[in-house]
Structure 1
């Protein structure tokens, strides 16, 4: 969708050409005396438009309004959650009219946060997946809304927030696109091609490693998961260089299982199709880089995506097998369906070479996190209070929220093994936490956080599809870090350590 920002009053918005005019009405009194403002005030006084966020009143051909249809949407106190509720309700209502051009205006003053939430919510409500659908007779198979003009009291005052929100939406929709693709349209090779496409954006570079390079690097845990699939693995390395070369980067690690059968520990057939979403962590990394390439913040970011399928043939790993990770730690594979942590642990070890300021891994890791938090908040695990606070604040700012769970050492007791340094599962109790404790073993050399997005990365049922989360959270965190100067506070001696051995020197694009 084409988003535009414009300085508009309610009176001027009434004169704008559009198919639908959406007016976002807060709980504060309206002081303007133009006909549309007077109509809104009357509707509120009569109780036809309550202040509760998300309540609507639709009008047809109101006097002195160019648009044939007007949707009044309550946004209550104007806080991010309220704005999001109001905008989603209004855009969903407007879609019923099949509009191509929509004007949406804040009736009262709105700050940058409200503007950002409005853009994100409008894009979310109007998104339609089209890649594997046939076009209709008129050549259209996507969203009907082509352009949305957002009207505010002073466009100049919120211009930066608007631009960042528009770029973030591009990233979210890229993450949705790849998350929604079926497994035959999203193999590790195709995902790597999408990552290489991001290198067309300024300051972004991409390298892709194949099976031979991964094996030579000693990523035995990652390679073991991939060995049951006919599709070759790919290890994607993205770099965004927005800060000085000696600035320590933030490293994002995204789980990229493009389809997960569970392996020998086979999943139930019901809803197994949704295991195409098991690469949404990887998709969120690609989406974040898309946003960074458009915003161009002064920060360095590295993205690591271990990508493969978890399939089941005669070469697949078996329960009881012991594999050796890149860190040298051996792992007893008690459940082949706990494969995400097996690929992430090698990526976390690889991250150490960048001497990172912080490492954040993002993964659809455990059903236990879905049980704990449902689809509202992502699970957050970290032993660093400052990083936890920053990620939680970014989640609230972007309305892509997370919730911190514990990492007490006692939770790791169940990971003990008689046959290896660690087991890959620890039973059902506290499953999201024990999975995080497993990853923590491989993140001891840097500040680290784990986001379990198993409940938030996609929706099931009638609204089945990728949500694009947590791109909003990650972009918000990185932008705040760039603005606050935190990125400059943790320089390292080298931008990245020299990769040792012939395998690393061959870490180039793999066809």
Structure 2
């Protein structure tokens, strides 16, 4: 889908030929003398429309308006959050088959982040998964014009929104693909396509290389599958070589049966989403390729399946991680932390400014936070604050959880340096405590996205979270680092086509 940004007052918006015209009406609207303004003012005066975010009035073939359908929708205080609510409220009209060209016009001044939120909400409302459908209709909406009072002033916000859409939809695509269409090898191929974007490099390690690295925990998880593992290494080089990178680590279990500790059959199909941490890292790099911020970023994705067969790791087996620490595998369904711990050890070689791992790690986090906020654990207050703030701005929120040392007591083992589980109580916390044993003094945060990476039921599908949070965090870190260090000299690349 194509997005355009245009300086557009309501009087001019009435002349825009389109299938659907959406007009965002803020609190305290001061209507002009044009037809749309008069119509909105009359509807508000008579109580047929409220400017509360999401309240709407749908109209058809309005005289003196070129659009076939018009929706007047309340925009509340005009904030990014209100913008998202307003656009979501008209989502069914945006997604309708007859809506091929959409004009969305801000009747008031676009506040900071509102244009980006608008673009993202339109993309979310119109998204359609088609990859494995034989006769599926593609997304009907092919062009969206965003009209604002001052297009040049809103350009940076608009470009950020378009880049985030590219990243989020890349993550959603790979999250939604069935496991036989998103194997570790195919995930590696997806990462390689990102290397076509400016400043991005990709390296893929196979089983032999992973064995030479001594990643015994990662290898143990992959043993039960016929699909060969892949360890994906992405690099975005946007700053000077001596600037420490931020390392993003994404859990890439492309299908999780639970292994020998096999999961119950109901809803096991949703375990194709167990690589959404990996998908979010891919999506973040897709957005970085568009935005080109002055920062260095490394992406690490340990990708494999967790399957039960005669070679699979068994409960009670002891494996040796890349760090040299031994692990008693008490439950083979706690496999995500086993692949992540080796990736976290590998991350230390980059001497990172920060490490953020992203994983659909525990059902316990879903019980704790539901599907609203991702769980966030960190050994560094500054990093935790930055991630929390980024999530709020991105409307992709997280919530900091505790990491008291007492929670690690249950990980003690009689037969290894630690067990991989510590019982049901505080399960998301003990999982984080396990990972913390592999980060040393590195500033580190763990995002448990088990409740936010996908939705079930009638709206089943990947959400693309937390790409928005990650990108806003990285952009914030780029701003912090920019005054102190001279970024790599390069002209901004033209917007790349999606790989």
The TM-score, its normalising length taken from structure 2, stands at 0.96
Q: Deviations over 1:326-367 (max 9, x none)?
A: 000001111100000000000000000000000000000000
Q: Indicate the residue corresponding to 1:505 in structure 2.
A: none
Asked if the contact 1:380/1:402 (under 8 Å) is kept, the reply is: yes
Taking only aligned residues, the RMSD between alpha carbons, in angstroms, comes to 1.4
Aligned residues: 487
Q: Indicate the residue corresponding to 1:22 in structure 2.
A: 22
Q: Deviations over 1:37-82 (max 9, x none)?
A: 1111111122222232211110111121100100111121122222
After TM superposition, list the pairs within 5 Å mapping 1:383-398 onto structure 2: 383-398=379-394
Is 1:369 matched with 2:362?
A: no
Q: Indicate the residue corresponding to 2:495 in structure 1.
A: none
Deviation, structure 1 residue 381: 0.6
Asked if the contact 1:256/1:281 (under 8 Å) is kept, the reply is: yes
Deviation, structure 1 residue 94: 3.3
Deviation, structure 1 residue 480: 1.6
Is 1:400 matched with 2:396?
A: yes
Asked if the contact 2:56/2:72 (under 8 Å) is kept, the reply is: yes
1:51, 1:67 → 2: CA distance?
Answer: 21
Deviation, structure 1 residue 483: 2.0
Deviation, structure 1 residue 97: 5.6
Higher alpha-carbon deviation: 20-29 or 178-187? 20-29
Distance 1:477 1:196, change over 3 A: same
Q: Indicate the residue corresponding to 1:158 in structure 2.
A: 154
Is 1:109 matched with 2:109?
A: yes
Q: Deviations over 1:249-296 (max 9, x none)?
A: 000000000000000110000000000000000000000001101111
Q: Indicate the residue corresponding to 1:223 in structure 2.
A: 219
Q: Deviations over 1:447-494 (max 9, x none)?
A: 000000000000000000000000011111111211232795799xxx
Q: 2:204 aligns with which of 205, 208, 216?
A: 208
The TM-score, its normalising length taken from structure 1, stands at 0.93
Q: Look up the SS of the partner of 2:156 in the other structure.
A: helix
1:411, 1:470 → 2: CA distance?
Answer: 26
Q: Indicate the residue corresponding to 1:60 in structure 2.
A: 60
Asked if the contact 1:260/1:275 (under 8 Å) is kept, the reply is: yes
Asked if the contact 2:79/2:111 (under 8 Å) is kept, the reply is: no
Q: Deviations over 1:186-235 (max 9, x none)?
A: 00000000001100001000000000100110000000000000000000
Q: Deviations over 1:356-408 (max 9, x none)?
A: 00000000000000011111110111121111111111111111111111111
1:150, 1:123 → 2: CA distance?
Answer: 12
Consecutive unaligned residues in structure 2, runs of 5 or more: 488-499
Is 1:45 matched with 2:41?
A: no
Higher alpha-carbon deviation: 80-89 or 352-361? 80-89
Asked if the contact 1:360/1:450 (under 8 Å) is kept, the reply is: yes
Asked if the contact 1:54/1:85 (under 8 Å) is kept, the reply is: yes
Distance 1:490 1:261, change over 3 A: farther
Q: Indicate the residue corresponding to 1:509 in structure 2.
A: none
Q: Look up the SS of the partner of 1:259 in the other structure.
A: strand
Consecutive unaligned residues in structure 1, runs of 5 or more: 492-511
1:232, 1:24 → 2: CA distance?
Answer: 51
Asked if the contact 1:247/1:487 (under 8 Å) is kept, the reply is: no
Q: Look up the SS of the partner of 1:265 in the other structure.
A: coil
After TM superposition, list the pairs within 5 Å mapping 1:77-476 onto structure 2: 77-96=77-96, 98-135=98-135, 141-476=137-472
Q: Look up the SS of the partner of 2:90 in the other structure.
A: helix
Asked if the contact 1:71/1:94 (under 8 Å) is kept, the reply is: no
Asked if the contact 1:457/1:469 (under 8 Å) is kept, the reply is: yes
2:145, 2:228 → 1: CA distance?
Answer: 45
